[in-house]
Amino acid sequence: MENILYAPWRDEYVTNKKIEGCVFCHISKHSDEDEALHVVYRDEHCFVVMNKYPYTPGHFMVIPHTHTDKLEDLPQENWLHITALAQKGVRLLKEGLGAHGVNLGMNLGEAGGAGIAEHIHLHLVPRWQRDTNFITAIGHNRVYATDFEKIYKKIKELSQKYLLK
């Protein structure tokens, strides 16, 4: 028996115009498009953006403005800033969104599993007890239990309290 899953938020993926070049550099340079690009926060060192195809609701990334695929070449000041934002982001997800836990991760290079290998980025993935099931492991699909735009607005609102401290 064949199952068909409908994911209407993915329609934009196949019908929307593609960003040429590095998508993260595009987001970095276009602060006037923050709402459309789902940017939660930005400062002189980096920005925080929602993952467009999240693992769980609230999955976002901390990304340096510096275009590099080598963490080892990133200025230490930028790395320390990214980790400080990650620490605040974990608090945001736990206290503000009610996550039971958080996965942090960087996939460095294509061989390391990076979907966008040319520009390093740190994932923050909120987790809840029993948030995985057979559909991900066996069906290679994810069930997203809430509206992406609703979660984006909530995280953006929470960023004022947690990321600006």
Residues 70, 39, 135, 100: is their CA dihedral positive or negative? positive
Q: In angstroms, rounded to a whole number, what is the distance separating the alpha carbons of residues 141 and 130?
A: 16
CB 46 within 8 A of CB 82: yes
- Extract the runs of DSSP E, i.e. beta strands, from the chain: 39-42, 46-50, 60-64, 101-105, 122-127
Tell me, yes or no, if 121 is annotated catalytic. yes
Say if strands 60-64 and 101-105 run parallel, antiparallel, or are unpaired.
unpaired
Catalytic residue among 38, 121, 123, 140: 121
Q: Which residues are marked as active site?
A: 121
